[in-house]
Amino acid sequence: APSTQPWRSPGEPQAPFSLPAPRWPVECEVIQETIEHIEWVPPKPEPFCPPMGPEQALYTIDEEQGTVVYHSSPGNGAWAAPLSASALPRSPTVPPVPTALQYSCFTHARVGGAPGPLSLPAAPLEGPQDTTLLFESRFESGNLQKAIKVGPYEYVLMLRPDLYTAKHTQWFYFRVQNMRQEPFYHFTIANMAKPKSLYGQGLQPLLYSQRDAQSRGIGWRWVGTDVRYCRGSAGEPPTFRLSWTVRFPHDNDTCFFAACYPYTYSDLQRYLRALVADPARSRYCTVQALCRSLAGNTVHLLTITSPGGTAGKRVVVASARVHPGESGGSWAMRGFLNFLLSTHADAHLLRRLFIFKVVPMLNPDGLVVGNSRCSLAGRDPNRAYGMALPSSFPGVWHLRAMVQRVLAEREVVLYCDFHGHSRKNNVFMYGCDAGGDGTGTRLCQRVFPLMLSKNAPDKFSFSSCKYQVQKSKEGTGRVSMWRLGVSHSYTLEVAFSGSTLGGRSSHFNVKDLESLGCLLCDTLLDFCDPAPAKLQQCLGEADALLQRQMGREPGSGGSWSDVSPSELES
């Protein structure tokens, strides 16, 4: 149910914050181990690896002659579920990937997922000299469906499509054990979905070594040589292959690979529990349930403002993780919340001026099961704002309904939806310019991104921002909020990779991602500064940039109302 007390004042006592375990669809097997990682910032930037181009990988992949060493698919267990260890064959014949799940749509959920004993999706080792890697992904946000050993130290991997779909293979996060330090291992994910990827431009996978974390305090790091992204199968739809070579730092370690820094639903719950327990920060913030997801996981709503009256305050709305595979959005959101709830003078001013309504995780079910894009409805919730039913897409429906209620009472000065981007470097924004508005209105759409580019010159690319409202994007949060009457409505896109700006050519680390939230707060103060100097300066700069883009002389004047957004961006 939606919150019934949207304006309860921060500073009032809050109910004890419970931390229920995530609820999983009943067909999902879940291991009992708790997976947590330390946070670590490398002492110097981690550069992109040299791009290897789209040409075919150097390694021959012969899946038909390989040995399946891991196979886990919700609803299907392992090869058959349950099987005893002795019944798991090391057959050279690769079984086909299941074409459909036993459960074609979501039915119900429970804490811990599938009841009963776990199946054994990993083939047993034949003895202490067996160097076969042991894979596992049946944990929160994990995604790996199958591993095929095609050489002594070479593996072909298959990702699980988003649950109840046959597509959206992008996010990966899995554990490996039983490795040796000396050999070079070669991995190929053979069923990536997107034809273009930053892996072809220097992005590397992330590796986490449990032994390095425990003994040296080192966390996630970008690794891999010979990183290639190329077309794989010639069928329809085509698939694409991501391959890389890596040496593990230790023998018999426990390591993890991931597409981006994981940030799970349980990570958010721990953050919120610490927030509510902190007497200083909880004075400014209430944590409530916006609604429950299809699986029964809480979609949290935070209200942040200074205690006391709210008369005359405008509202800022922010959300993140409608797409579960875009974990960088959660780290930027955490930086945003950390700054807003800090003792910094600008944070005090922001709380005094505004009411912040924040939904830090719109699609908790998708995160729990390791989806890339969809919820348990089997569809992209960021295309469902215009037609969403509360029973199918509760998070986005209740967010939109909450914004409608707020707009009936107050001005919403800004909406920002935090995302990740897999095909373009740097950080940028999508705004809303449908054409037909006056010159001043259309230029104003570009002012906030321009100000953010000035505050984050080594991360944010103003030239990468787009404002065209395409028909295919009508169901997005950005366009939906704009249609409701939020005049400045944006998607913040954070590259999976890093920055090519300000002399950089390096991956983002967690500190970089969190700084984006802080910089967004700085920009909000600039944008709402009652003194008009900054706004006028940026309006002039935006106008000059568009004039040059259209081949006009800067300062020549003229209206933009007759120029379509597609012309401005061509």
Catalytic residue positions, numbered:
493
d(CA 484, CA 463): 27
d(CA 536, CA 540): 6
Closest CA to 243 of 151, 153, 150, 155: 155
d(CA 267, CA 421): 22
Query: DSSP strand E in 64-218: where?
Result: 67-71, 109-111, 134-136, 146-151, 154-158, 173-177, 185-192, 206-209
Pick left, alpha or beta for residue 151 (phi over 0 → left; psi -120 to 50 → alpha; otherwise beta).
beta
Query: DSSP strand E in 178-270: where?
Result: 185-192, 206-209, 221-222, 225-231, 240-246, 254-258
Residue 99 and residue 121 in contact, taking contact as beta carbons nearer than 8 Å: no
Alpha helices in 363-476 (DSSP H): 364-369, 394-407, 439-455
Q: Which residues have a Cβ under 8 Å from the Cβ of 48 and sit 6 or more positions away?
A: 201, 202, 203, 204, 497, 498, 505, 506, 507
Q: At what angle do helices 477-484 and 394-407 cross, to 10 degrees?
A: 30
Q: ∠ at Cα 131 (127, 133), nearest 5°?
A: 110
* Amino acid found at 553: E
Token representation of residue 471: 């028909």
DSSP string covering 530-558: SSSHHHHHHHHHHHHHHHHHTTPPTT---
d(CA 14, CA 311): 22
Q: Which residues have a Cβ under 8 Å from the Cβ of 272 and sit 6 or more positions away?
A: 17, 287, 300, 302
| Burial degree of 17 (CB within 10 A; 0-12, 13-18, 19+) | middle
Q: Element (H or E) spanning 489, and its range? A: strand 489-495
Closest CA to 337 of 366, 313, 303: 303
